[in-house]
Structure 1
Amino acid sequence: MKACLLAFGFLLCHLLASAQPAIPYGHNPAAGHYQLVRGVKLYYETYGQGLPLLLIHGNGDNISAFAKNIPYLAQRYRVIAVDSRAHGKSVDAGDSLSFEMMADDFAGLLTSLRLDSAYVVGWSDGGINALVLAMRHPKKVKRLVATGANLWPDSTALMPSLWRQQQRGYQENKNVKFTDPKRKNDWKVFCLDVFQPNIPLAALKGVRVPALIVAGDRDVIVPEHTVAIYRHLPRAWLWIIPNSGHATLQEHADDFNRKVDEFFRAKTVLPPAR
């Protein structure tokens, strides 16, 4: 009888836990805020307590991209997940968009939150933003993790199939006059990756903070390009994740979360600047 009661109790606890509604990351009023930064109302959500950790998503995405990462990271950090300008709830009516603009936004957001600096994790375009933020606002970044980032938009950086797809999409739509605000914004976001970034490898020498450069072994970023980014950063580590595509932080969330946390908390002496 006692064994049956214990088994029932475990089953009941499991059912109650599974009945709890999932947190709607990216659409969570309990954690969501707006901050006017450089003419754009940036939407962000905060979770947990501790040292600040800024999460930056990829092209066409939003905060929900980090749904598998925030619960773990919020146990140790004050997670600040933000919708980049022209993405998610961060509406941007302007015609232009660049990684430099977005990096300045993130620096401005940290300043508005009275934060001198933060750890930074960026995925895809967010990885590019993490690097650009460290280049343009070095004092704002404690350490950074960039997964699936590229420095320029051609077939030497992107897998040829992706590059051809982007070029075809641009050629087919470049003369379309978009009148619907959403489609116009989507086109602006799409063109961001067609023409940008344009960062010379030599510019990475200016990133003095420790950086963990990540990619999947089946990423859409050419492996040699990821290795080149790592080699040109003065204080960097490289992690190529086996059996992974571009979505490293989703496909291998448990390993990714632990590795990121270990990297940020490491007390070991950093290698000398190269």
Structure 2
Amino acid sequence: MRFSALVLLSLSLATPSLAAEKWEILPPTPAPIATDRSGEVHANGISIHYAVYGQGSPVVFLHGGLANTDYWGNQVSAVAAHHTVILIDSRGHGRSTRDSRPYGYDLMADDVVAVLDALKIPKADIVGWSDGGILGIDLALRHKDRIGKVYAFAANTLTSGVKEGVEKNPTFAAYIERAGHEYEAHSTTPKEYNAFVDQISKMWAEQPNWTEEQLKSIDTPILVVDGDHDEAIKRDHTEYIAATIPHAGLLILPNVSHFAFLQDPPLFNATVLHFLDEK
């Protein structure tokens, strides 16, 4: 499960250097990719939007907080050439609705299982970014019979793993502003973005808070991944997660941030496929 540093170095050196550092730039959100296999699952008191692409063993992509399925547009074609890709808008995000219950990772993980049930998928791998990576770990803890591998990018397992003042970082602040426009375009409650951010921020302030014992109980194959310039997650926390979950791999992607899948899609996609297809 562990990647060779030399392989990653060769991949990064193969890319010509640019005037601006990749990790300083927030590339555009990809346009949604058309599919005739999309719809809504009505479960857990809400409507959950999903889209399906490709053929093969199933892989669920779970986006970060405030985002939506469009953010995975640079990954779909690469991964769908080998796997069935399922994109899900988390509750209250993108085109999915929410109910009156507070946001929580357990609740959102149960939504993922509800989509798997509706699509009659007994087991799937997970690729998660940020909140999506946290959901992958939650699924490994509470629904391990429903998932195979977890590629957990830019996740945290304790609230203390997040850097103070991340919302003031220019790249992250630009993301929050962009997400507001996207929320207005996609949501069934387009004028409630500020309330949405407040409610999600309450979850972030309190969750996750898994103990070492909980993490040590995980026997799902997990690759713990982050960018070497992540604006949000502390490097030592990423290393802690990988060291605490038994047999977990650790992968640090070069010259990218919390938005690596946008900043260097070829590298991100190559590592996802290597991990998913590794025997």
Task: Output the CA distance in 2 between the equivalents of 1:253 and 1:125.
Answer: 19
RMSD over equivalenced CA pairs, Å = 2.1
Per-residue deviation, 1:213: 0.6
Q: Which residue of 2 aligns with 1:158?
A: 162
- Unpaired runs of 5+ residues, structure 2, are 1-28, 173-190
**Once the 2 structures are TM-superposed, how far is the Cα of residue 244 of structure 1 from its aligned partner?**
1.4
1:231 aligns with 2:243: yes
SS of residue matched to 1:67: helix
Taking the aligned partners of 1:222 and 1:33, their CA distance within structure 2 comes to 37
The counterpart of 1:195, out of the listed 196, 203, 206, is 206
Contact 1:153 1:195 in 2 (8 A): yes
What is the rounded CA distance, in whole Å, between the counterparts of 1:82 and 1:67 in structure 2? Answer: 13
For the residues of structure 2 that align with 1:249 and 1:236, how far apart are their CA atoms?
21
Give 1:196 shift.
1.6
Instruction: Read off the aligned partner of 1:162 and give its amino acid letter.
Output: V
TM-score (norm 2): 0.77
- How many angstroms apart in 2 are the aligned matches of 1:232 and 1:136? 17
Partner-residue secondary structure (3-state), 1:100: helix
Whether 1:211 and 2:211 are equivalent positions in the alignment is no
Whether 1:134 and 2:140 are equivalent positions in the alignment is yes
Match of 1:185 among 181, 193, 196: 196
Relative contact order: is structure 1 or structure 2 higher (C-alpha 8 Å, sep ≥ 6)? Answer: 2
Q: Aligned pair count?
A: 230
Which of 270, 276, 279 does residue 258 from structure 1 map onto?
A: 270
Q: 1:94 & 1:185 partners in 2: Cα distance?
A: 12
Equivalent positions of 1:162-181 (< 5 A) are 162=166, 181=192
Whichever of the two has the greater Rg, that structure is: 1
Runs of 4+ residues deviating >3 angstroms: 28-31, 163-166, 180-183
CA distance, structure 2, for counterparts of residue 133 and residue 264 of structure 1 = 17
Q: When the two structures are superposed, what TM-score results if normalisation uses the length of structure 1?
A: 0.78
Aligned match for 1:50, one of 18, 42, 56: 56
CA shift for structure 1 position 233? 1.0
Cα distance, 1:181 vs structure 2: 4.2
How far, CA to CA, are the matches of 1:92 and 1:212 in structure 2?
A: 30
5+ residue gaps in structure 1?
A: 1-21, 167-179, 268-274
